[in-house]
Amino acid sequence: MSFDLSLIVESIPKMLMGIGLTMQLLFISAALGLALAIILLLMRISGKWYLAWPSLTYIYIFRGTPILVQIFIIYHGLPQFEFIRESILWPILREPYGCAIVALSLNTGAYVSEILRGGVLGVDRGLKEAGAALGLSVRQRFVYITTPIAIRLAIPAYSNDIVSLMKSTALASTITLLDMMGIARTIVAETYAPYEVFISLAVIYMILTLFIQKGFGLFEKRMSRYVKQ
Amino acid sequence: MEAVSGWWDDFFWGSVVVLQVFITSLIMMVLFGLIGAAAKLSNNRVAQKLAGAYTVIFRGTPEILVLLLIYFGSAIFLTSVAQSFDPSTKFVDIPPFWAGAFAIALIVGSYATETFRGAFLGVDPGQIEAARALGISSLQTFIYVQIPEMWRLALPAFGNHMLSLIKDTALISIIGLNETLFVAEQATGTTGKPFTMYIVVGCIYLAFSTVITLTVMALEKYSNRHLERAR
């Protein structure tokens, strides 16, 4: 039982080889999840029950179950069906990489949709009324008034969700992917030195979290530049 | 669905384990959150810094990493301690139940720290001053004035923390806790029906989340009843 410094020096470069995969999982899932979230949001605020209900059900299911269970259903569960194995989606769902991206996107989409909805609901009614008084159409009001303000209002919560998404990418290691977490688990299995390896990995993740928060902080500042001068 | 028929009792006991972990970690989470919030609000600079480090560390690292670190870290430590007494010992660990409950309570507790801190700040200072003026001690003020007023403010966010907690219990199957996800893995091994089994797990968790959500809604209504009447 000792703290082996040379092991830390050795394992950090190895774990950083997985940062590319972690980043791919993060960025691709964030982009796909955002697209899904926007679709879900538009369905939900459309005012038509046959659009709003499926969106609500989707959000309820994906926010009510653990992401790990969702990953397992997609990775281990779906190949149970013949039609999945014969479908055009099979090349994606056959690989753990594709499954991780699908699961993370579907999951984050549900959360982000709620965040965006909070932003849309937070837009002052007076501004929309002003837009109507100026003769803007419903669509113009949504695009030019609601959307920019809703984006600014949603940034803090969205930033938190991106941090959660980054933390969830570590779960890809449970379906054999060698992201940073997967590599760390391999090293620990070989050396049996959890303290050195896991603590240095924790520091790497914390630095990434810091970058995400700082980045969104700057973005929020820029989006809020009209608020007070 | 007939594949599940022989496994209902296992899933039931798995759900009981989920519930036990949830309740255990909930108690610890509230404790960690209250201690963290008290430290952040205290005038002691060391306590503030420690609580700040606590929230930064546990909100910035993946749950699975914290879980594995606590489980394997404690196992290595305990094994080496045990070996110094009895060299023939092979492996000693904290049971996955306790290691897991502790780990997820630490993680969610860091979020609860921020929630409780905000809720304590939301209590009208006039209320505390009034208690002081009445000669109530600071401990009594804390228990009878600050806690009853802050939990109402903390409730919506606290409900989300409970949901995170119940969902994080699924992770503990990774270190071998025999909860529902673990049962599903075993059932898949014998029946070859992974989708069916994991969907059952999903439904169990969805049921738990629903109950928590409804409970929090009822509690919110209860805690705001004095506002209801005033309207």
Cβ neighbours of B188 in A, within 8 Å: 76
Partner-chain residue, chosen from B56, B73, B198, that has the shortest CB–CB distance to A206: B56
Nearest to A161 by CA among A34, A62, A41: A34
Residue A1 has pLDDT above 60, yes or no: no
The mean per-residue pLDDT over the stretch A80-102 comes to 88
Instruction: Spell out the domains of chain B, with CATH numbers in brackets.
Output: 19-180 (1.10.3720.10)
Residue A219, pLDDT score: 92
Contact list in B for residue A72 (CB cut-off 8 A) is 181, 184, 194, 198, 201
Q: What is the pLDDT of residues A157-210, one digit of tens each?
A: 999 999 999 999 999 999 999 999 999 999 999 988 888 899 999 999 999 999
Q: A 54-93 residues with CB below 8 A of B?
A: 60-61, 63-70, 72-73, 76-81
The H-assigned helical ranges of chain A are 5-16, 19-44, 49-64, 67-72, 82-86, 90-93, 96-121, 125-133, 138-141, 147-169, 180-191, 194-223
Q: What confidence score (pLDDT) does residue B25 get?
A: 96
The closest of A161, A38, A24 to A100, measured between CA atoms, is A24
Q: Cβ contact (<8 Å) for B57 and A81?
A: no
Superfamily (CATH) of domain A5-223: MetI-like (1.10.3720.10)
Question: Can you give the pLDDT at residue B1?
Answer: 63
Q: Nearest to residue B26, comparing CAs of B99, B100, B105? A: B105
Whether A69 sits inside 8 A of B63 (CB atoms) is: no
A73 with B72: Cβ contact below 8 A: no
- What percent of chain A stands above pLDDT 70? 98
Query: Measured between alpha carbons, how far is B217 from B163 in angstroms, rounded to an integer?
Result: 13
Quick one: pLDDT at residue B192?
A: 86
Q: pTM for this one?
A: 0.91
Residue with tokens 């999951």: A107
Q: Is the pLDDT of residue A229 over 80?
A: no
**Interface with chain B: mutation pick from A198, A206, A213, A214, highest number of B CBs within 10 Å:** A198
| Residue of B4, B58, B69 to mutate, interface with A, max A Cβ within 10 Å | B69
Question: What would the pLDDT profile of A14-44 be if each residue is shown by its tens digit?
Answer: 999 999 999 999 999 999 999 999 999 999 9
Q: Is the pLDDT confidence value at A156 over 60?
A: yes
Alpha carbons A15 and A8: distance in angstroms, whole number: 10
Q: Which residues of chain B have pLDDT under 70?
A: 1-2, 229-231
Q: Which residues contact A192 (CB under 8 A, 6 or more apart)?
A: B76
